[in-house]
Amino acid sequence: MGCKLKATVGIDDFEIYEREPEVGGTWYINNYPGCANDIPIIVYSFSFAQKDWGNSQWAPQPRIEGYIRDVVKDFNLSDHIHVKRTMLNANWNKEKEYWVVTIKNNETGEIFTRTSNILISAHGGLDVPRPIDTPGIETFKGDILRSQRYDQTVDLTGKNVVVIGNACTATQIIGEIAPKVKTLTQFARGKQWFLPKPVVHLGHPVVRWMLKYIPGLHTALRGLVFGVVDYFMKAMYVKNGEATRKKRMETSKRHVKNLAPAKYHDALIPDFQIGAKRRIFDEDYLKSLNYDHVDLIAERPARITENSVVRQDGTEVPADVIIYAIGFDTTTNKFLENFNNNGLNLRQHFANVGTGAYLGAAVAPLPNFFLLGTASPNCASGHNSVIFTSECTANFIIRVIKPIVYAKKGTVHVTKEAERKYQEWIREKHQEMIWETENVGSFYLDNNTGKNTALYPRSHTHYWWSTLIPKDSDFVYENVSKPWLLQFTSKKAMSAYGTALVAGTATWFLA
Ligand SMILES: Cc1cc2nc3c(=O)[nH]c(=O)nc-3n(C[C@H](O)[C@H](O)[C@H](O)COP(=O)(O)OP(=O)(O)OC[C@H]3O[C@@H](n4cnc5c(N)ncnc54)[C@H](O)[C@@H]3O)c2cc1C
Ligand SMILES: NC(=O)c1ccc[n+]([C@@H]2O[C@H](COP(=O)([O-])OP(=O)(O)OC[C@H]3O[C@@H](n4cnc5c(N)ncnc54)[C@H](OP(=O)(O)O)[C@@H]3O)[C@@H](O)[C@H]2O)c1
């Protein structure tokens, strides 16, 4: 958003508050061994900050974190970013037409306020670790590590390590640490679909030369990779995706059978359809299951003692270190209580109308307020890049707020009707998707309602198109003129297009 504000609209008058001591978000907080992207990096990067990543399209966490820092530097954002500052709450002042934001300085404990015409919350969705619920955890004498804020000073060499979890994070950790530990036991209560990592070979000197010197080639390649990745949205449709799903599930079964020992095939191959959970591209984890010192236990742990993890049948697995890779708490986001307009906060609003936002960005009762990134409901994907949707949302927000930003006055809010219709559309389209019918439980689904509040139920191309031109009738502007772009989608403009179309067709027939 910062880059867009600076580069697209030339606005310098903004501030970014970040709770952690460094920028990076996901890529700062998730620092576990083996952490990497799971979508080709050429797509998992900003369109306005494209980079030649070299031969590999799979970048480890430190490289992605470094990339984010480079973007901050290249766009001169450092002066705008205040780290170690936690936003506590924000209240809309109707008379003054601004937000009053309360912030805590984490270093000094000082609490201060800032006012702003526009408030954008990009507070993330995958940053609060899921609570550990294994009985006896408090009695354990060894090290307990979590995938988030992983303590890298703990040496795993020669130790008995237990990993709990079986999704992207757990499998990346196991693939990385298996060779150096004494024993490694994984407790996996669920199953996942594993696919071979698609490899785009870009290391040949001729390819390197072409990418460096042929203008537009890198962008074209990015577009091509994006198209291929987005095509796999097809597999998520219950009806039309059946053939694609079948092919992918066959590929996955072959892949697992080729790489993992036969004794684990039943424990590894899911009985639900691919797409219900985010697929995992992996080779290292499956291969590591062949080590004699690595054991996969297809159940949740029963309890924990001082020095072991106990299986459901009472057998004890010795443990010096337990690594929890059990994901994130995505539903108890306390932060939502902190955005208020006259006593109505975002949590109450979601409770009244359902969790959701118009195009993931705007909610009717909060003027001049927008959500962005994984904080945006229904904007993530199970198949493509979250960076892409975040960029689309940021562009959309800018198109809507431009006049207020320039005039430093006025308000805009999405209409209740537009919000309601959009929500209805989201719910209706989700019913056509595989995660809704399979309903195997995942972080996609709201624990309380069982509804998918994480994913966009169509392709990323569709989201891009939907966010391209804001619809005039969906927004109310007060004390400020509308953005010129909205004039093209106003009722007047629409009827002018209609008249022109009818007149044009009639002329063509009559001529
Ligand atoms: C291990 C891992 C790997 C992933 N890999 C991929 C991938 O390959 N492809 C993909 O598309 N997606 C991936 N994702 C999803 C990923 O979360 C998103 O792609 C993206 O990084 C989210 O960015 P964000 O800015 O929305 O949120 P975040 O990166 O979570 O940033 C939110 C920021 O807000 C800050 N914050 C929160 N609350 C406050 C507060 N009260 N005050 C101040 N600051 C606050 C946080 O500290 C954080 O820095 C991955 C997620 C994880 C966990
Ligand atoms: N770029 C990447 O490659 C990458 C890497 C890591 C993460 N991510 C993304 O980050 C998100 C979260 O991934 P994640 O792997 O951290 O979490 P996750 O997908 O939510 O998976 C959590 C795992 O822990 C298990 N689990 C949950 N609660 C448990 C409990 N109380 N006791 C025992 N086991 C429990 C789950 O089992 P069930 O399946 O049975 O629920 C699952 O195996 C996803 O979007 C993922 O795509 C991406």
**pLDDT at 331 (0 to 100):** 66
Q: Would the pTM of this model clear 0.95, i.e. be above it?
A: no
**pLDDT at 213 (0 to 100):** 92
Residues 145 and 103 in one domain: no
| Residue 391 neighbours by CB under 8 Å, 6+ apart | 4, 46, 47, 48
Number of the ligand closest to the Cα of 168? 2
Atom index in ligand 2 nearest the CA of residue 131 equals 31
Whichever domain contains 426, its CATH number is: 3.50.50.60
d(CA 133, CA 201) in angstroms, rounded, equals 43
Q: What rounded mean pLDDT belongs to the chain? A: 92
Residues 118 and 152 in one domain: no
Structural domain including 247 reads 137-202+232-324
Rounded distance from Cα 165 to ligand 2 centre (Å): 6
Atom index in ligand 1 nearest the CA of residue 35 equals 1
Atom index in ligand 1 nearest the CA of residue 385 equals 11
Rounded distance from Cα 190 to ligand 2 centre (Å): 10
Residues 91 and 157 in one domain: no
| Residue 214 neighbours by CB under 8 Å, 6+ apart | none
**pLDDT tens for residues 391-427?**
999 999 999 999 999 999 999 999 999 999 999 999 9
**pLDDT at 491 (0 to 100):** 62
Number of the ligand closest to the Cα of 29? 1
**pLDDT at 72 (0 to 100):** 97
Question: Do the strands 321-324 and 81-82 form a parallel or antiparallel pair, or are they unpaired?
Answer: unpaired
d(CA 169, CA 186) in angstroms, rounded, equals 12
Residues 162 and 303 in one domain: yes
**pLDDT at 440 (0 to 100):** 79
**Final residue belonging to a domain, choices 287, 304, 324:** 324
Rounded distance from Cα 149 to ligand 2 centre (Å): 15
The low-confidence residues of the chain, meaning pLDDT below 70, are 331-334, 485-494, 509-511
**pLDDT at 52 (0 to 100):** 86
**pLDDT at 504 (0 to 100):** 79
Tally of CA atoms within 13 A in the half-sphere of 147 that contains its CB: 34
**pLDDT at 490 (0 to 100):** 61
**pLDDT tens for residues 421-476?**
999 999 999 999 999 888 777 778 877 777 889 999 999 999 999 999 899 899 99
Number of H helices, E strands in the chain: 16, 21
Residues 349 and 317 in one domain: no
**pLDDT at 333 (0 to 100):** 66
- Mutate which of 3, 16, 26 for ligand 1 pocket (most atoms within 8 A of beta carbon): 26
Atom index in ligand 2 nearest the CA of residue 133 equals 31
- Whether 185 and 321 have beta carbons less than 8 Å apart is answered as no
Residues 159 and 245 in one domain: yes
- Mutate which of 27, 123, 388 for ligand 1 pocket (most atoms within 8 A of beta carbon): 123
- Residue of minimum CA distance from atom 6 in ligand 2: 169
**pLDDT at 204 (0 to 100):** 84
Rounded distance from Cα 24 to ligand 1 centre (Å): 8
Residues 190 and 297 in one domain: yes
- Phi/psi zone of residue 378: left (φ > 0), alpha (ψ -120 to 50 degrees), beta? left
**Final residue belonging to a domain, choices 302, 324, 346:** 324
Alpha helices in 178-289 (DSSP H): 205-213, 217-231, 242-259, 265-268, 284-288
- CA-derived radius of gyration, the chain: 25
